[in-house]
Every structure is written in C-alpha cells, then in structure tokens.
Chains A and B, each alone.
Chain A
Amino acid sequence: MRIRSQSNFWCGLLFAALGVTVMILARDYRIGSAARMGPGYFPMLLGALLALLGLTLTVPALFRDGPAFPRLHLRPLAFVLLGIAAFGVTLEYLGFVLAVAALVVIGGLADPDLRPVEIAGVALFMAVFSVGVFAVLLGMPLTLWPAL
C-alpha cells in the first residue's frame, strides 16, 4: 500500500508508540479507581488517549494526500546541541568563562557560513559580557575559572 502523507503517517506512529510506552511504564504505579485515583490513573488514561490520537493521524494518512516527510538538516542541529552539552560539561569542570567560549565556538560550527575570526570575536565578547552581567552585576554564584 502507498502511504499518501508521509509526514502525518510517521507523526501519528510516533505518538502512538509514545502512548503505548507510557502505558507500559505506568503499570508500575497503582491505578486505583475513578473515585480514588492512584498515581497510575492519569498516566494510563493519557497514554491511551495519545495512542488513539496517533492512530487518527496515521490511518487517514494512508488514504488522503498530505505533507510529505520534511527534510531534516542535521548539521545545524548536531552542532547546536553539541555546543550546549559542551557548555554543561565544561562548566562543571573548567568554569564559566571557558564554558561560554566552548559554546560559542562549537555552536558556531552549526552555521555553514562560519567565519573563524568573527566567531573568536563573538566568543571573547560574550565571555566578557556574561561575566560582567551575571557574575559582577547580578552577583550570581558562578565558578569562573578552573580550580587549580
């Protein structure tokens, strides 16, 4: 059979899978009854609802035309997410200033039109500016440099 709306088909399938997963996980919690709900009642109900909603997207997608599957651009996504993760790790071990620099440089790679000199400039500017605003002006408890 031909899937006539790729986007809706997969979107619905994703929701249905998510709903079923929630229902499986929610089995660990007591369900109770409608009058005395346990912690598992809401998750079970919502999981089932989501699974049903998913099907109402997936099934019609087989018969009716709709949007095709979108193109995902992985380069910007990967570098932006990597940059944020790097900020977290660097902040934990090497302090705030290097974390800001790491974020700007790695995140900067997300842009195909990257200009190295500019990014270095932005990194320097953001490091100075954020230390000034967050650490000095607002007095936030941030570790600025690696502990030696």
Chain B
Amino acid sequence: MEILSNLAIGFGVAVTLKNLAYCFLGVFLGTLIGVLPGIGPVATVAMLLPLTFALDPATAMIMLAGIYYGAQYGGSTTAILVNIPGESSAVVTTLDGYQMARQGRAGPALGIAAIGSFVAGTIATLVVALFSPPLAEIALKFQPADYFSLMVFGLIGAVVLARGSLRKAIAMVVIGLLLGLVGTDVNSGVMRFTFGIPALTEGISFVALAMGMFGIAEVVYNLEQRGASRQVFGSRLGSVLPSRADLAQSAPAIARGTLLGSVLGILPGGGALLSSFAAYTIEKKVARPPRNFGDGDIRGVAAPESANNAGAQTSFIPMLTLGVPSNPTMALMIGALMIQGIQPGPQVMSQRPELFWGVVASMWIGNLFLLALNLPMVGLWVRLLAVPYRMLFPAILVFCCIGVFTINNNVFDLFQLVVFAGIGYVLLKLGCEPAPLVLGLVLGPMMEEYLRRALLISLGDPTVLVTSPISAVFLLAAVLLLASIAIPTIRAKREEAMKE
C-alpha cells in the first residue's frame, strides 16, 4: 500500500493554507482565461512565471498546473454559448454544444461539461498516481510510424464528425491538410506556400482559422436572420442544470471519454487533441440510440469534454517522469521547474516525492474547486445569452480579435482572421462543415512529418508501417472505420439508384 502513503504525503503538501490558496488562484485564473477565447494557458503561464521565482517548487507547480487544467474547464464555455472554440480541443464541443444552446439547453450543456470534466479529472488523477512510470514507457515506445498510423486513424475519424455529404467532408479534410502545409517543412527546411510573408513561416494561425470559420462566420450567419428567428437563444432559456435523464444518458459517454483521454493524453504531440475528436467519433458510432449527433445531443458534449480534461491531467505524466513536454504549456512548466533548479525526469518521483505527490494531490483538489466554481457560473452564462444579439455580437467580435492578436502580438494574424471568416462563411453556405477541415489542419503537418521521418530512419523502407505492431493495429482500425463509414453510404446509394 505504498500508494496510500504516497498520497498521504501528497495531501499533506496540498492541504496547507498556502497551497490551497495558490491552487484556487490557479484554477480561478485558468477558468477566466479559458472563458476568454484565444487567451490560452501558454500566455498566462508565461506571464506568471516570474511570480513563481519566489515560491517553493511544489507551490509554483500547483498554481501553474491549476491554470492549465482550469483552462480546459473554461474552454468549453464559449464553444457552447457562441460557437467559438478557444482552443483546438474545444472544436468538437461546438458541434453539439452550440446546437444545444440554440435549442435553449445551454445550461445542461455547460453543466454536463463541468460534471464530465470533474469525473474525468478525478479518474485521470488516479491514473497519474497509479500508473505514471509504465505509461511513460509506452509514450517513449511510440515510433514515427506509429504516430503516422494514429494520425491516419484520426483523420478518417474526422470524416465522421460531419453530418452532411461524405464527399464534402473528405474534401474539407483535404483542404485542411493543404492549409496545414503552409509554413516551414520540418524535414527539409523548405518554406512552402508562404508567399514571402514571414508570419506564415510557422504556419497558419490555428486560432485565427478556428475563430474565423466557427465564431465569426456564425456571427455573420446569425445577422442574416432577421427578427424572430434570431432571438432563438433569448426566448427559451430552459432549465439551468442537466436533468436526471441527461445524466443517465451521459454517464457511459463520460466513462468512455475519460478512458480514451487518459490513454491518448500521454502521447506527446496531438494526443490530447485527438482524444476529444476520437471520443466524439466513437460516441457517434457506439452510442444507442445514435440519432441526435450534430443536432444537440448531450453525449456529444459529455464525451469530448471528459476526454480532453482526462488528457490534460495525464499529459503531466511524460512531463513529470521523462521531462518530455507533450504540449507548449508543459514545455513552460519544465522551464518553471528548471528555474527552480529542478531537472524534470524520473528522479523527481524518488528525490522530491513531496513535489510529485503534492502536485498530483492538488490536481484532485483543483478539480473539486473547479466544479464548485463552474456549476454556479452556469446560470450566469446562460443569462448572458438573454442580452439582445445586436449588443452581444460586437462583444463577440472584440473578444475574438483580442484573442487572435495576443497569441503572437502580430496584427497579421487579424488579417488571417478576416480571410478565414470569409472562407468559412462561403463554405457554410455551400453546406461544407468546418470541423473536419480543422482536424486536417492540425493533424496534417504532423502526419507528413512522422511519415517522412519514419521513411528517413528506415532508409526508405515502407514496410515499417506494418512491421511495427502499434502502427499495424492503428492502420487496421483505420481500415475498419473507413469500411463502417463507406458501406452504409454505398448501400444507400444503391438503394437510391434502384428507386430511380
């Protein structure tokens, strides 16, 4: 029962007045920046970094970690209320979350997001406590070929995200992949499709694209609807919290999302992001009855929100045990530890147990704070929707613009926002949904990078893609998923043809 004594050490550290206060400060700030679209945890953690010099390492990490997973809670708020995904993992939440808000069910959507996140956070914290070292080994075992096959699987899953035409969804994925090519090619150093603009050498701004295609395009679309149809939000507010039936329906979705997020979260790179997409895709395939996805199904909010919060917790595993950051925020935390004179790595657990277990224990306490902080806020957010749209939409525009600008402090990103808002509007009108495009944009560059690296290391031998067991499993899963998408469509087509 070593784990109990370890957790006792952890809670001993986390439950001091000072650490509780900093934990609360962290999750509070995290919620705040999560709600403000575009202002991500990276910028906030960076700004607070000098403040942590004066704190002891455990307290510093407890606060910074709180900002990170707190932001995951807050991130769903704008996705649900106004269709603005503040970061990539919230893109899927917009699909059903925003539809629920339009139907006057913003309260249950926000509520289930908070409850799902809490459950996922609690379970994932336990996973971190119990399985950190073996899971870290798995993360190191992943080779380029395995990552490539995981990405292929993710991209085929992206097609499932769409509701309408299959061909349009595939085209959207391809356009996303093409947009993802913009920037410096990692393998050769060549700048592709940058047209001599320095700001494009690091690629297209994800936030500008997501906010343009989802948030701004939606604003324009809403402004077209005059009078009554536009006020659909304000008129029916409905209940504030999820009902018993909602909870019963969401429970399996939360469980599946948590499991998926916990596992994928440990993978550096696209892990945490993929987990929210994958959770949605799986839910759409296995949930019974399957009818409402994309039309405001509460499980379409519960699953990805649980997955991304679980992933946020387990992404600490490679950072704390290997010193490998799985995303930019984790890279900052490594910086924070190094400033404190601590080299993140496997020795942290043995040499500084109070730090490791203190942070783990604080994660659970932080999740509790977040639930207490977020559930009462739901009512407030829902009431915000009662503000007439003609006054609400300029505010949405302001938040989007500030969010996009502050990422790189570069005005050019605002012009990207203009371009993608325009494109997003036209695509919306043509019946093309932006979610598959966004996933293509994020996964495309990684997929190409991993494939070319796999072939570089194998000296051009493509069999690495199937000789690695992990890679082979993902490729097989991808083929099965493709078949499950294609066969019903083909069958439907044939029936249609027979009728004619």
The residues of A with any CB-CB pair to B shorter than 8 Å are 7, 10-11, 14-15, 18, 22, 25-26, 29-30, 34-39, 42-43, 46-47, 49-50, 53-54, 56-57, 67, 70, 72-73, 76-77, 80-81, 83-85, 87-89, 91-92, 99-100, 103-104, 107-108, 110-115, 118-119, 122-123, 126, 130, 133-134, 138-142
Contact = CB atoms under 8 A, between A and B. Distances in A.
Interface in B457-497: 460-462
Contacts of A114: 390
B394 A84 contact: no
Contact of A140 (B406, B414, B452, B461): B406
Contact of A35 (B44, B393, B461): B461
B168 to A, nearest CB: 7
A14 to B, nearest CB: 8
A38 B223 CA distance: 46
A47 B456 CA distance: 24
A7 B220 contact: no
Given A57-B168, A107-B393, 10 more contacts: A7-B431, A14-B430, A26-B192, A43-B178, A76-B223, A81-B421, A83-B397, A103-B401, A104-B394, A140-B406
B446 interface: no
A81 B422 contact: yes
A35 B462 contact: yes
B188 A81 contact: no
25 contacts: A7-B431, A11-B430, A11-B431, A14-B430, A15-B175, A18-B175, A18-B178, A29-B192, A30-B188, A35-B462, A39-B187, A47-B178, A50-B174, A76-B219, A76-B223, A77-B425, A87-B401, A91-B405, A103-B401, A104-B398, A113-B226, A122-B391, A126-B395, A134-B402, A139-B47
Nearest to A47: B178
B220 A77 contact: yes
Interface of B: 33, 36, 39, 43-44, 47, 167-168, 170-171, 174-175, 177-178, 181, 185, 187-188, 190, 192-193, 216, 219-220, 223-224, 226, 390-391, 393-395, 397-398, 400-402, 405-406, 409, 411, 414-415, 417-418, 421-422, 425-426, 429-432, 448, 451-452, 455-456, 460-462
A21 B177 CA distance: 15
A84 B216 contact: yes
Nearest to A25: B193
B397 A37 contact: no
A22 B178 contact: yes
Contacts of B216: 80, 84
B255 to A, nearest CB: 36
Given A87-B401, A91-B411, A138 B223 contact: no
Contacts of A84: 216, 397, 400-401, 414, 417-418, 421
A53 B171 contact: yes
A57 B43 CA distance: 43
A110 B460 CA distance: 55
Given A81-B421, A84-B418, A73 B224 contact: yes
Given A34-B462, A80-B219, A92 B411 contact: yes
A74 to B, nearest CB: 10
A30 B187 CA distance: 12
Contact of B220 (A10, A76, A130): A76
B12 to A, nearest CB: 33
Nearest to A113: B390
A72 B226 CA distance: 14
Contact of B429 (A46, A70, A113, A140): A70
Q: Which 8 A-B pairs have the closest CB atoms?
A: A35-B460, A88-B414, A76-B223, A39-B190, A70-B429, A104-B394, A11-B430, A73-B224
A23 B457 CA distance: 28
B415 A104 contact: no
B258 to A, nearest CB: 31
B398 to A, nearest CB: 5
B406 A122 contact: no
Contacts of A123: 394
A72 B265 CA distance: 42
A113 B461 CA distance: 64
Contacts of A85: 414-415, 418
A83 B455 CA distance: 47
B397 A42 contact: no
Contact of A80 (B175, B220, B391, B395): B220
B175 A103 contact: no
B223 A110 contact: yes
A91 B405 CA distance: 10
A138 B185 CA distance: 35
B170 A53 contact: yes
A49 B174 contact: yes
Given A57-B167, A73-B224, A103 B430 contact: no
B452 A37 contact: yes
Contacts of B167: 53, 56-57
B193 to A, nearest CB: 6
Contacts of A83: 397
A87 B414 CA distance: 8
Contacts of B425: 77
B391 A39 contact: no
Nearest to B391: A122
B418 A81 contact: yes
Nearest to B195: A25
A7 B390 contact: no
A47, A53, A77, A99 pick with most chain B CB within 10 angstroms: A77
